[in-house]
Amino acid sequence: MNKILEVTDLSVEFKKDKKPFFAVKNVSFSVEEGETIGLAGESGCGKSTLSRAILGIQKKGVTGKINHFSKRPMMVFQDPEGSLNPAKTIGFILEEPLKIKGGMTKEQRKAKVLEMLKLVDLSEDLLDRLPSTLSGGQCQRVCIAAALMQEPKLLIADEPVSALDVTVQSQILKLFEKIKKELKLSVIFISHDLRVIYSLCDRVMIMKDGEIVEQGDKETLYFHPQHEYTKQLMEAAKTKYVKKD
């Protein structure tokens, strides 16, 4: 497999009460083509700061190396309704990334929008509607379609199902499975829910106080964790980490 992303000794330093502290500290990992990596840890541990640094949104205080071996990744955020411009129609929102990219006729852009709607299981009649008229699940599907419009090879999903009810969560997770297979997409899936990560991811990284304290394939990490913090997370999630029969 080919590498999509390589992060080496990445740190992000902020100042709090005029004193420096590391929101991310000496993080190293890589993502392979078609691989889904779960990033887990409690709120405030540095997961979102790490993702912003990878995307290039966070630049101040960043040291280390971030090597992209494909187009820069796109992001799906936690709050689907808040991520969409409330004054614009779904059709405008989905077509806008293609206008920014350029090189396509109006007819080609429309065809691409319809292709993406089909991919995320939304109907064409939503194009003239505003985000406020859609359900949370529909809004998240629109966000996913918009993120995929420029055909990135890596998608970073930051708590993309936490704002949705359990039934809709399941539907969105199945959608992630579908798109990553059809598009051979790599995904960094950020969540505090270890059960969600287990269902979707190939490998898992556990983050605490800005550091990756443990990482590995999900079976090894879930059933044979080595770090005490990982064991505590498993217990809190009521996930068995003892050896399977």
Kindly state the tokens that stand for 72. 């820069």
CB-based burial label for 167 (10 Å; 0-12, 13-18, 19+): exposed
Residue 175 lies in a domain: yes
The percent of residues above 90 in pLDDT, for the chain, comes to: 69
Residue 237 lies in a domain: yes
Residue where a domain stops, chosen among 151, 168, 194: 151
Picking from 9, 126, 17, 144, the residue whose alpha carbon sits closest to that of residue 63 is 9
Residue 141 lies in a domain: yes
pLDDT digits (tens, 9 = 90+) for 201-229: 999 999 999 999 999 999 989 889 999 99
pTM reported for the whole predicted model: 0.90
My answer on whether 57 and 178 are in the same domain is yes
Strand, coil or helix: 112: helix
Q: Write the DSSP assignment of 76-125 as a string of letters.
A: E-S-HHHHS-TTS-HHHHHHHHHHHH----HHHHHHHHHHHHHHTT--GG
Kindly state the tokens that stand for 222. 């879930």
Strand pairing of 19-32 and 74-76? unpaired
My answer on whether 88 and 205 are in the same domain is no
Residue 209 lies in a domain: yes
The pLDDT, as a whole number, for residue 148 is 94
Residue 16 lies in a domain: yes
Find tokens 């190939």 and name the residue.
Answer: 202
My answer on whether 164 and 66 are in the same domain is yes
- If one counts every other C-beta atom within 10 angstroms of the C-beta of residue 104, the result is 14
My answer on whether 34 and 101 are in the same domain is no
pLDDT interval class at 245 (50, 70, 90): very low
My answer on whether 50 and 146 are in the same domain is no
**Buried/exposed code over 180-211 (b: 16+ C-beta within 10 A; e: otherwise):** beeeebbbbbbbbebebbbebbebbbbbbbbb
My answer on whether 181 and 68 are in the same domain is yes
My answer on whether 167 and 115 are in the same domain is no
Query: Rounded mean pLDDT of the chain?
Result: 90
pLDDT interval class at 1 (50, 70, 90): low
Distance, CA of 4 to CA of 31 (rounded, Å): 6
Residue 17 lies in a domain: yes
Residue 190 lies in a domain: yes
Kindly state the tokens that stand for 217. 């394939």
Residue 163 has pLDDT above 80, yes or no: no
The pLDDT, as a whole number, for residue 241 is 41
My answer on whether 32 and 95 are in the same domain is no
Domain span holding position 129: 83-151
Helix (H) or strand (E) holding 3: strand 3-16
Find tokens 């808040």 and name the residue.
Answer: 82
My answer on whether 122 and 23 are in the same domain is no
Residue where a domain stops, chosen among 125, 151, 177: 151
* Average pLDDT rounded to a whole number, residues 70-83: 86
Residue 5 has pLDDT above 60, yes or no: yes
pLDDT interval class at 192 (50, 70, 90): confident
My answer on whether 3 and 61 are in the same domain is yes
Residue 78 lies in a domain: no
Q: How many domains would you assign to the chain?
A: 2
Pairwise pLDDT comparison (112 vs 167), residue with the higher score: 112
CATH number reported for the structural domain that contains residue 10 in this entry:
3.40.50.300
My answer on whether 180 and 226 are in the same domain is yes
Cα first-last separation, the chain: 32
My answer on whether 175 and 243 are in the same domain is yes
pLDDT digits (tens, 9 = 90+) for 111-161: 999 999 999 999 999 999 999 999 989 999 999 999 999 899 999 999 988
Q: Please give the backbone phi and psi of residue 101, each rounded to the nearest 5 degrees, phi first.
A: -65, -40
The pLDDT, as a whole number, for residue 238 is 61
User: Which residues on neighbouring strands pair with residue 39, listed in sequence order?
Assistant: 190, 205
The pLDDT, as a whole number, for residue 76 is 93
Choose the weakest-confidence range: 47-51, 57-61, 99-103, 204-208: 99-103
- If one counts every other C-beta atom within 10 angstroms of the C-beta of residue 102, the result is 6
Strand pairing of 211-217 and 203-208? antiparallel
Residue where a domain stops, chosen among 100, 122, 151: 151
